[in-house]
């Protein structure tokens, strides 16, 4: 019998080591994401139904099991959530079927708030454990890592993996020990209440204007440096780098460079920084024309594949600008490799052809 318990203790030690190693590696992997760009402040309440898989430790002498529950929580700021949750789990064992009914108060720390948002979580609570008819109250503590993935403003997919410490406080539900070490894998949804807050246009500090000499007039000034003097400029504050018409109004903005991850429509951090500036200008800009966001590729790959890739990249730009509060009507259109502006036989030419263009549509 002693050798059997020694074997169980070894299994518990190995389980704890594996869980702590997984949690450490995942947490370190997520740390670089903590420096993402500023996000919209969200402070909504939410409910979070979930299903659970329970990997039992050897100390229970039980098989793995299943369960589920519901959480109610609140987003406090750009990093923290608080949540209370209840759960029910059951599985078989050497001394009869097990059932666990309990709840915890959780604190979640989000490294960043984005479409994909990794987090760590700690929780404390209580649980009633029953093995056949033998039941007892216990305390539990949980720690783990997880993520949310935004499917909609009011629906997020959520999953986490947790180590759970369970002490049955001398209830002797399981002969030989009152301490148990389990792992739970939870998968479910987060359903926030109300509308997701939208970004507000940043207020710009007023610029002090020095007195203009009597001889100076608007015809000698070009405040936005677009090549059209202020007297004739019907669109002051033109976005830097855009092509303009004779009235100083933008008609095209070409974004070139490495804006997407290789063979993907996912925006790079550099692209997001550039689009943040574009979005800021569009939000404060008085000209609310419709804008077509065009995606273009080089000639690498098939025509059919490039057409789909360019469409997805254009849509990524549209989605990001909308997220940043742009109210212009935005339409994504992929052109694939059909409209090159440089020679596709050279690497420099291919780089120029991989671009996104914003085209202002005359109303």
Backbone angles phi, psi at 332, to 5 degrees: -90, 135
From residue 300, give the alpha-carbon distance in Å to each of 219, 295, 350, 352. Answer: 49, 15, 8, 13
Say if residues 253 and 242 touch (Cβ distance below 8 Å): yes
Gyration radius (Cα) of the chain, Å: 29
Q: Topology of 218-361 in CATH?
A: 60s Ribosomal Protein L30; Chain: A; (3.30.1330)
Q: Which run of H or E residues covers position 30?
A: helix 2-30
Report the CATH architecture of 44-192: Beta Barrel (2.40)
pLDDT tens, N- to C-terminus, the chain (363 residues)? 444 445 545 555 555 555 555 545 444 444 444 444 444 578 999 999 999 999 988 788 889 999 999 999 999 999 999 999 999 999 988 877 889 999 999 999 999 999 999 999 999 999 998 888 888 899 999 999 999 999 999 999 999 999 999 998 887 887 778 888 999 999 999 999 999 887 655 555 555 555 544 445 566 676 666 666 667 666 766 666 677 776 667 778 887 667 777 778 888 888 888 888 888 878 877 667 888 988 888 888 888 898 998 899 889 889 998 998 888 888 989 898 888 888 888 888 888 888 888 888 876
Strand order in the sheet with 243-244: 243-244, 250-256, 355-361, 290-296, 330-334
User: Where, residue-wise, is CATH 2.40.160.20 in the chain?
Assistant: 44-192
Q: Which residue has the tokens 């059932």?
A: 99
Q: Which tokens is 328 given? A: 């212009």
Interatomic CA distance for residues 301 and 208, integer angstroms: 53
For 153-242, list the strands marked E by DSSP.
155-167, 179-192
Q: What is the largest CA-CA distance in the chain?
A: 103
Q: Which run of H or E residues covers position 149?
A: strand 134-152
Query: What ranges in the chain are assigned the alpha helix state H?
Result: 2-30, 269-284, 303-323, 347-353
Interatomic CA distance for residues 105 and 43, integer angstroms: 18
User: Where, residue-wise, is CATH 3.30.1330.60 in the chain?
Assistant: 218-361
Q: Which tokens is 218 given? A: 């608007």
Using N-to-C axis directions, what is the helix angle for 269-284 and 303-323, rounded to 10°?
50
């Amino acid at each position: 019998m002693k050798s059997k318990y020694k074997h169980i203790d070894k299994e518990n030690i190995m389980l704890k080591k594996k869980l702590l190693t997984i949690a450490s590696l995942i947490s370190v992997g997520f740390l670089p994401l903590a420096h993402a760009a500023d996000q919209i402040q969200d402070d909504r309440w939410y409910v979070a139904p979930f299903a659970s898989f329970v990997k039992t430790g050897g100390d229970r002498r039980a098989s793995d099991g299943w369960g589920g529950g519901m959480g109610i929580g609140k987003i406090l700021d750009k990093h923290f959530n608080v949540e209370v949750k209840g759960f029910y789990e059951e599985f078989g064992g050497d001394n009869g079927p097990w059932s666990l009914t309990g709840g915890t108060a959780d604190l979640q720390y989000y490294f960043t708030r984005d479409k994909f948002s990794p987090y760590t979580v700690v929780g404390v609570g209580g649980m009633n454990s029953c093995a056949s008819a033998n039941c007892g109250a216990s305390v539990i503590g949980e720690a783990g890592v997880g993520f949310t993935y935004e499917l909609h403003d009011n629906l997020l997919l959520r999953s986490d993996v947790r180590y759970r410490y369970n002490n049955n406080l001398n209830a002797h539900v399981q002969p030989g020990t009152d301490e148990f070490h389990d792992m739970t894998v939870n998968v479910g949804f987060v359903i926030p209440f109300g509308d997701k807050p939208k970004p507000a246009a940043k207020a710009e500090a007023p610029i002090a204007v020095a007195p203009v000499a009597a001889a100076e007039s608007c015809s000698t000034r070009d405040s936005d440096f677009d090549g059209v003097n202020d007297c004739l400029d019907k669109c002051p504050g033109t976005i830097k780098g855009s092509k303009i018409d004779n009235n100083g109004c933008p008609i095209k903005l070409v974004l070139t460079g490495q804006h997407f991850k290789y063979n993907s429509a996912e925006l790079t951090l550099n692209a997001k920084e550039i689009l943040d500036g574009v979005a800021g200008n569009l939000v404060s800009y008085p000209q609310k024309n419709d804008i077509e966001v065009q995606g273009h590729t080089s000639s690498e790959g098939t025509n059919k594949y490039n057409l789909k890739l360019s469409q997805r990249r254009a849509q990524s730009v549209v989605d990001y600008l909308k997220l940043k509060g742009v109210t212009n009507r935005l339409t994504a259109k992929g052109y694939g490799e059909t409209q090159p502006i440089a020679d596709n036989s050279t690497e420099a030419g291919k780089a120029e052809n991989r671009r996104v263009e914003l085209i202002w549509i005359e109303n």
